[in-house]
Structure 1
Amino acid sequence: MDDSFHVGYGSQIHNFFSKFGSAPVKRSASITVILFFSSIIVLINWLDVSVILGDPFPRTIFSIIRKQRVKFEIPLNCSYEGLPGTCPSNYPLTIELDESSSAAACPEYFRWIHQDLKPWKSTGITREMVERGRAHAHFRLVIVNGKAYVENYIKPFQTRDMFTIWGILQLLRLYPGMVPDLELMFWCEDRPVVRKRLYQGPNATAPPPVFHYCGNKNALDIVFPDWTFWGWAETNIRPWMQTLMAIKEGNKRMNWIDRIPYAFWKGNPKVAPAREELMNCNISDEFDWKARLYTLDWSKIKKGGYNDTRLEDQCTHRYKIYVEGIAWSVSEKYIMACDSMTLLVKPNYHDFFIRSMVPMQHYWPINNNNKCRDLKFAVEWGNNHTDVALAIGKAGSEFIHENLTMKYVYDYMFHLLSEYAKLLKFKPEVPPGATEVCSEMKACSEKGRWKKFMVQSLVKSPSDKLPCRLPPPYEPPELKAFLDRKKNISKKVQKWESQYWESLNKKQ
């Protein structure tokens, strides 16, 4: 080490002690102190004690003192030695946490975990309840000792089940040894299946707990993140982490004020009456409802190489429309991430995060029965109040970019599964028909986009940080006040719309 090293560190040490009011020392004593501490620092940086510690990887005293650790990686090992159809045996089963960091608070929408599990809070969940859910399940998931097992029942549409299971496997890689033992049933189609009305009344049986991608006021399905967070291979939509980054860059291409001052929607209108009705709001020779709507034919898009469906290229209008399909639509998160003010046609279904978003703060509410009139009013109002429309669009987009990162998606999964496992009144067991699953078994045998998306969404290292802190459940008065607030805001917007059309009719 050169003299500058000694002088630099010596002055820092002197300043350090000076801050605490040390008594003056003689120059010779100061030099002795400087040389002593400098020698210690040199020794710390250069002395290899790997042999003493019995560690095959070289480590230094300095790295141990500063607690610097090389991030442990779990590669996707498609050439491991083992029987066909088996999983590697070297998966980590514990997690080494960074003790200097504390868990941050989870976003507000995590509170709905308690609400979704409320039907079983007083009774707990018995094996009999779980087994009754088999009639509404595509597969059973079992986690025992940090390993996952799946029993398949019926094949769902496309590869939803495969990517849902893949996502759960990544959760186990992110938080090894932390996900508790459990058994659950999972439904992969669009609409909820556990009807609330069948489990009401004094003689009603307890509902079966079934996990699903969405819910509504008439269902008891337990809402779980959908498969597209790890990619939708059939439509060439990449995993959420890559897609979100691409949309973020797409937002930078054009300032909101410079975007096309109309409402935009692109999708398949044939899947639901609400979408077919929406197409009536397109511009025509007779009237302009301020909406620009485009039909997607996925068979033609596929033949063309998906060139016209890049989500990051669709942030070009000031307003974007969200309308449900058969049930909720995975397009919701892509639309709301675009900085454009989202015109949200009143939904009948909800996913796991939308319930904490507020009208006129994160989106503009559109009445399902008056789509065209409401769209026209919203666009004209926004173009006359650009500062407010810009703020709503930005707030909705920031909610998605900040509160719907993959870290939070995994944390939501972790807390939902953990709280669910607490309710189980039986010991989870691997059924005879179940097969152990792991990342290798899923990805190594796949090809094309299916394998590509799995590799892109692979969790490569266990987390060194705890999951975020789960917030408490809503108190009944608190939840009622929140829901009433959302309802009243939407009613206020409807009143504006009515007044607008009444005044317009009077002028005519």
Structure 2
Amino acid sequence: MLSGGFFLCFCCLDCESLLHNKYVFAGVSIPFFHKDRLHNQEDYLLGCIKGKSFKKTCPKDYPTKHNPTNQNSNICPSYFRWIHEDLKPWKEKGITKDMLEKAKKTANFKLVIVKGKVYVEKYRKSIQTRDFFTLWGILQILRLYPGKLPDLELMFDCEDKPVVPLDKFHGPNAKPPPLFRYCSDQWSLDIVFPDWSFWGWAETNIKPWENTLKDIKEGNKKTNWKDRVPYAYWKGNPYVSPTRQNLLQCNVTLENDWNTLLYIQDWVQESNQGYKKSSLGDQCTHRYKIYIEGWAWSVSEKYILACDSMTLFVRSNYHDFFIRGMVPLQHYWPIRDNSKCTSLKFAVEWGNNHTHKAQEIGEAGSKFIQEDLDMNNVYNYMFHLLNEYAKLLMFKPTIPRGAVEFCPEKLLSCTNGNKRMFMEESMVKVPSDSNPCTIPPPYDPLSLQEFLERKANSTKQVEIWEDEYWQIKEGAIV
């Protein structure tokens, strides 16, 4: 994953605010209009977008209650059950103020919600604009469900790799620091939260998820699956991790054909050329697409899985919030990380000999992303994660001393270029007309074990097929 040297601070209240270390974001300060009062809901945006200027103060008439007309609530997708698993270390004894403060060691900021307003205490710069767009996303959940989130305090780390080791915090007296971030692994207790790119990745010109998903859906229609190039495709930055550099050895050459077409993405060059060759909607032209983690997990995961191509998922050490709900051979094809080339070649050979099944796997993975990971479910996941987390707090959240009120108007007023464009595109226009989906109950130990065994057995089955394939191949050569 791109991890260049762009470091940007939170958008300032005014020039003087840059001198301070604390910022406050009002959660729902932009006035709402009820849906039947809008002549054209899609045209309802902030005043400055229509050419007006923002005021220097936030409106005081923002709504504090959510009054949906549709009271029906669907059950959330099954991967929401992992919210309970991620918060399990604090289930019995709760979260104390001291435990929270210990998470400050690596956090980029502290987030505080009090009476529907968001306050941020900034500690250190994040990579690029990760913190900025993460906070923008949190502002949107408060616009979508005004008044529904309880008061809370949390620490957020915008870096890639988890830092709360499981082996240091086990036993009845363990007091792990609760720390939110974009990914975790089986050896860590970091709490997984949707990443910033759902509201846009400005430095790579990738639009907010809702519009990007529309582009990918349109791209899927351009080429029938069986007419796609019968090779595995990957395009990305290989220099962020050894495993990606190792992947390049699998590229097709005159001497070896591993059934892969691998391309290096030069983001600096792409930026200079106006991002003409990096449209995600134009990259659904191969039957198979490769996902491989970067320095940690990669935001490319959702874009690759949405493409209708059978995703060849190289075994990963890290997980984001949704991938744990996906299953090998149902949603993607597992690839060994210690013998990528032979594993990739077999996967493509198998797919080209079982085109109906390969297409079925690709489309099932794509359906999961397009339906279970639509923006509404992203917001619902955020809502339930924050709500369940708040229940564990053993103290009353308080506003940071010296805080300055902030609101979406001010975020937009001091932002320009594609950052502002992405914020406008991803802004929640009106409150939701329904309640959040209903979070499913936690796994019981047996059902969780069965689910994990199902995933492990599916991967083992693929490895058995692969080993048999190469044994036959080698025997034929001998």
- Would you call these one fold, judging by a TM-score over 0.5? yes
| Structure 2 spans left out of the alignment, 5+ residues | 1-33
Check conservation: 2:234, 2:262, Cα contact below 8 A.
yes
Specify whether residues 301 and 75 from structure 1 end up closer, same or farther in structure 2 by C-alpha distance, changes over 3 A only: closer
Partner residue in 2 for 1:189: 159
Partner residue in 1 for 2:350: 381
Query: Superposed, which structure 2 residues align to 1:75-224 within 5 Å?
Result: 75-78=45-48, 84=56, 86-99=57-70, 101-201=71-171, 205-224=174-193
Partner residue in 2 for 1:270: 239
Query: Superposed, which structure 2 residues align to 1:3-402 within 5 Å?
Result: 69-70=36-37, 75-78=45-48, 84=56, 86-99=57-70, 101-201=71-171, 205-402=174-371
Query: Superposed, which structure 2 residues align to 1:392-471 within 5 Å?
Result: 392-471=361-440
Check conservation: 2:258, 2:342, Cα contact below 8 A.
yes
SS in 2 for 1:219: coil
* Distance in 1 (alpha carbons) for counterparts of 2:247 and 2:409: 44
SS in 1 for 2:126: coil
Q: CA deviation at 1:220?
A: 0.5
Check conservation: 2:54, 2:413, Cα contact below 8 A.
no
* Distance in 1 (alpha carbons) for counterparts of 2:402 and 2:246: 46
Partner residue in 1 for 2:465: 496
The count of residues paired between Structure 1 and Structure 2 equals: 438
Check conservation: 2:81, 2:440, Cα contact below 8 A.
yes
One-letter amino acid of the counterpart of residue 96, structure 1? N
Q: CA deviation at 1:88?
A: 1.9
Render the CA deviation track for 1:122-171: whole Å, top value 9, x for unaligned. 01011111111111200000000011111100001100000000000011
SS in 2 for 1:252: helix
Q: CA deviation at 1:92?
A: 1.2
Q: CA deviation at 1:68?
A: 9.1
Check conservation: 2:109, 2:157, Cα contact below 8 A.
yes
One-letter amino acid of the counterpart of residue 280, structure 1? Q
* Distance in 2 (alpha carbons) for counterparts of 1:373 and 1:364: 14
* Distance in 2 (alpha carbons) for counterparts of 1:90 and 1:213: 33
* Distance in 1 (alpha carbons) for counterparts of 2:323 and 2:45: 34
Find the structure with the greater CA-based Rg. 1
Q: CA deviation at 1:433?
A: 4.5
| Structure 1 spans left out of the alignment, 5+ residues | 1-66
Check conservation: 1:233, 1:450, Cα contact below 8 A.
yes
Taking CA–CA contacts closer than 8 Å with sequence separation of 6 or more, which of the two structures ends up with the larger relative contact order?
A: 2
Check conservation: 1:192, 1:214, Cα contact below 8 A.
yes
Q: CA deviation at 1:89?
A: 1.4
Percent identity (aligned): 58
SS in 2 for 1:347: coil
Check conservation: 1:151, 1:433, Cα contact below 8 A.
no
One-letter amino acid of the counterpart of residue 177, structure 1? G
Specify whether residues 433 and 485 from structure 1 end up closer, same or farther in structure 2 by C-alpha distance, changes over 3 A only: farther
Q: CA deviation at 1:201?
A: 4.2
Q: CA deviation at 1:97?
A: 1.2
SS in 2 for 1:137: coil
SS in 2 for 1:437: coil
* Distance in 1 (alpha carbons) for counterparts of 2:445 and 2:406: 40
One-letter amino acid of the counterpart of residue 97, structure 1? P
SS in 1 for 2:231: strand
* Distance in 1 (alpha carbons) for counterparts of 2:298 and 2:404: 31
Check conservation: 2:306, 2:367, Cα contact below 8 A.
yes
Partner residue in 2 for 1:505: 474
* Distance in 2 (alpha carbons) for counterparts of 1:81 and 1:191: 38
* Distance in 2 (alpha carbons) for counterparts of 1:283 and 1:81: 55
One-letter amino acid of the counterpart of residue 70, structure 1? R
Specify whether residues 372 and 465 from structure 1 end up closer, same or farther in structure 2 by C-alpha distance, changes over 3 A only: same
One-letter amino acid of the counterpart of residue 355, structure 1? R
**What's the TM-score once normalised by structure 2's chain length?**
0.89
Check conservation: 2:234, 2:290, Cα contact below 8 A.
yes
Check conservation: 1:150, 1:437, Cα contact below 8 A.
no
Specify whether residues 315 and 420 from structure 1 end up closer, same or farther in structure 2 by C-alpha distance, changes over 3 A only: same
Q: CA deviation at 1:444?
A: 1.6
* Distance in 2 (alpha carbons) for counterparts of 1:358 and 1:71: 42
Specify whether residues 130 and 435 from structure 1 end up closer, same or farther in structure 2 by C-alpha distance, changes over 3 A only: farther
Render the CA deviation track for 1:212-270: whole Å, top value 9, x for unaligned. 00010011111000000000000000000000001000000000000000000000000
Q: CA deviation at 1:440?
A: 1.1
Check conservation: 2:54, 2:409, Cα contact below 8 A.
no
Q: CA deviation at 1:205?
A: 3.8
SS in 2 for 1:358: coil
Specify whether residues 433 and 189 from structure 1 end up closer, same or farther in structure 2 by C-alpha distance, changes over 3 A only: farther
Check conservation: 2:53, 2:413, Cα contact below 8 A.
no
